[in-house]
Amino acid sequence: GIQVEQSPPDLILQEGANSTLRCNFSDSVNNLQWFHQNPWGQLINLFYIPSGTKQNGRLSATTVATERYSLLYISSSQTTDSGVYFCAVLTGANNLFFGTGTRLTVIP
């Protein structure tokens, strides 16, 4: 099956710093989504981005489908950004395959 790898697995940032999270996938995909899992376990939709670039406030994402990767940028990080960030890809089977996540800790 498709492989979805995320890096880095863990990231610690000082509040106000910027970061880039990466998602590599092994096969062509129909959809790619980024999620933030907050400390209560909820999965929050960040981006639906099968290709191209999108921005939402301090967050932006870029997917280069032909090269099979996606990047999530977090600028001016805040403590509320802490949690686990997952990318998930959708193939012809129409179910999302999740990566193993990046655990982000933002310290004040």
Report how far residue 8's alpha carbon sits from residue 68's, in angstroms, rounded to the nearest whole number. 17
Number of residues engaging another protein in binding (CB under 8 A): 24
15 vs 27 by CB, closer to another protein? 27
Contact 53, 46 (CB under 8 A): no
Peptide bond into 108 cis (omega under 30): no
The reply to whether 95 sits near another protein by the rule CB under 8 A is: yes
Q: Which of 27, 48, 53, 58 binds another protein (CB under 8 A)?
A: 48
Least separation, in Å, of the C-beta of 19 and another protein? 20
**CA–CA–CA angle 105, 80, 5 (5° rounding):** 50
Under the binding rule (CB under 8 A), the answer on residue 73 touching another protein is no
- Angle formed at CA 62 by CA 33 and CA 38, multiple of 5 degrees: 45
Q: Which residues bind another protein (CB under 8 A)?
A: 30-31, 33, 35, 40-43, 45, 48, 50, 86, 88, 90, 92-101
